[in-house]
Structure 1
Amino acid sequence: MTTERIDAHQHFWQPSRGDYGWLTPELTTLYRPFAPDDLKPLREAAEIGRTVVVQAAPTIDETRYLLDLARDEPSIAGVVGWVPLDAPNAAESIRELARDPKFKGVRPMLQDLNDDRWIEQPELGAAIHALIDGDLSFDALIFTRHIPSIKRFAANFPALRIVVDHGAKPPIKEGVAAWQSWADGMEQLAALPQRLHCKLSGLATEAGPDWTPATLRPYVDHLIENFGPERLMWGSDWPVLNLNGDYARWSTAAHSLTERLGASAQQAIFGGTALAFYRL
């Protein structure tokens, strides 16, 4: 049986809501509303049935906004939201949001925090245990420099399901000079007994504007070698993708970069892994 195709990472937003601190008018390509009707023709052309919508603002209000969208939109399979994990009432907030069956996990915006070791603080314990108790997941939005902290975090919470967003944003534009530290770090994360997952997403954004599948191949191959298809899931990162590509271009490239693996492996990467990991 053919597995349903899932886009495991995309965003919807409405700038007039006012809580997207990073989304400024200078980002002309992105500074407008993006809604399910905008994505529909793109995902249908790529034969994507449903998507996982990921938070883009560090507020519970935005999470509720996404859950409201999901309630009336069958193409939204799940929502990864945001909760202030260090707040005294964080566990209560997680339990309240989890009453909605489409709430699948949380993502703190670690890449934007001043403290690279923020995720290690013991004050997060109650919130993380609430995620575990609710069978919810954790999206790690990180760069290479965060990998040591994520390793310690994963060791502290071995029952937590963790997925690394965007392959930890490899420094593709920096070339060979920056390759090794990223490659070593991803190998270390993949080897953890917790069996972390990883998203095959965001790579086009980290490349130069003239990227081709050949540009991305070493990074994709390294992720495949270390995580395997059963722990890799494809995501568009749309509409952020529009900064340096488009839905069809990235979808086509990802299929060409994984076709050597065969049909069953591609079914995992383009649907099966996300279905299992996010409990869709």
Structure 2
Amino acid sequence: MEQIDAHQHYWNPARGDYDWMPKDDPILARPYGPADLAPQIAAHGVTKTVLVQAAATVNETEYLLGIADATDHVAGVVGWVDFEKPSDIEHLKRLAEHPKFKGVRPMIQDIPDDDWMLREDVQWGFKAVADLGLTFDALGFPRHLFNFLEILKRYPEMRVVVDHCMKPQIRDHSDTNFTFWAEGMSRIAEETRAYCKFSALVTEARPGWTVEDLRPYVEHVFRIFGPERIMWGSDWPVCRLRCEYSDWRAAAEELCSGLASGDRGRVFGGTAAEFYSL
């Protein structure tokens, strides 16, 4: 089965719209493009990627689609529109006509109001995503889990994937934190049709993380979603805050070593191909 990286980024900080990015960060605050990633995906037999937005602007989405047009391995783009501007439905309709545009990702993890997604003035966005047959990447933290559950149940026809296992705080592991996250993820898995990205766990762990630090979280996600609803992603280059592409890929393969070959095929390619219609 074809190998797919379901979540990676390209950016150029000089564009000026990456508001979350520390300007002096030696790893993040530099340009990243296809030539930087190509040798690493080739080393693991990855032939397709999903390129995901990293700036809260429509202009960045256009920039990513330009990269996708010029890059064979970019099979899909997850972009952004302003859910606070109902007029942005025109952008969404236009973008949906591009063959590599797959869906949107509001940067909910960076919005101060945890209840933002429940506001009446942003509901048009969820409805439009569903009506246009696009995908929705749910980006947040464990504190957002139950609001996401409400939105997913409000729009059951919307095709949703939970980004990064909803970023469990592995570096601050405790029974209380784990139980809260695990219960919220279980309810999403059991009560909705959402998928889950097996990605970015290393950046939620402490420096010097081990596979065993990640294992309880991975085992829970696989138990509740099953391989048929899980897709692996690198979250490169953000993963470089903790390790290189190959290190995270090796850890993910070790964590999946007990799966049947068909199930591994789903996690490392088949699920992403199905969800994003690649």
If the length of structure 2 is used for normalisation, what is the TM-score?
Answer: 0.97
Partner of residue 15, structure 1: 13
Letter in 1 for 2:199: S
1:129-148 matched pairs, under 5 angstroms: 129-148=127-146
Q: Which moved more, 1:151-160 or 1:86-95?
A: 86-95
Conserved? CA contact 1:139–1:162, under 8 Å: yes
Partner of residue 186, structure 1: 185
**1:201 Cα offset (Å):** 0.2
For each residue in 1:167-208, what CA deviation from the matched residue of structure 2 results, as whole angstroms up to 9, or x when unmatched?
Answer: 00011011124211111111111111x311110000000111
Partner of residue 115, structure 2: 117
Which consecutive segments of 4 or more residues in structure 1 shift more than 6 A? none
Matches of 2:47 and 2:91, distance apart in 1: 30
**1:133 Cα offset (Å):** 2.2
**1:129 Cα offset (Å):** 2.4
**1:88 Cα offset (Å):** 2.1
Unaligned runs of 5+ in 1: none
1:228-239 matched pairs, under 5 angstroms: 228-239=226-237
Partner of residue 165, structure 1: 163
Matches of 1:29 and 1:83, distance apart in 2: 27
Matches of 2:65 and 2:37, distance apart in 1: 17
If the length of structure 1 is used for normalisation, what is the TM-score?
Answer: 0.97
Conserved? CA contact 1:10–1:235, under 8 Å: yes
Partner of residue 154, structure 1: 152
**1:156 Cα offset (Å):** 1.1
Matches of 2:273 and 2:28, distance apart in 1: 28
1:11-160 matched pairs, under 5 angstroms: 11-160=9-158
**1:165 Cα offset (Å):** 0.4
**1:92 Cα offset (Å):** 1.4
3-state SS, counterpart of residue 55 of structure 2:
coil
Matches of 1:45 and 1:188, distance apart in 2: 37
**1:132 Cα offset (Å):** 1.6
Q: Which moved more, 1:143-152 or 1:118-127?
A: 118-127
**1:164 Cα offset (Å):** 0.6
Unaligned runs of 5+ in 2: none
Matches of 1:155 and 1:91, distance apart in 2: 22
Letter in 2 for 1:100: H
3-state SS, counterpart of residue 49 of structure 2:
strand
The number of equivalent residue pairs is 277
Matches of 1:87 and 1:104, distance apart in 2: 20
Partner of residue 261, structure 1: 259
Matches of 1:175 and 1:154, distance apart in 2: 27
Cα 1:175–1:126 change in 2 (3 A) is closer
Conserved? CA contact 1:94–1:127, under 8 Å: no
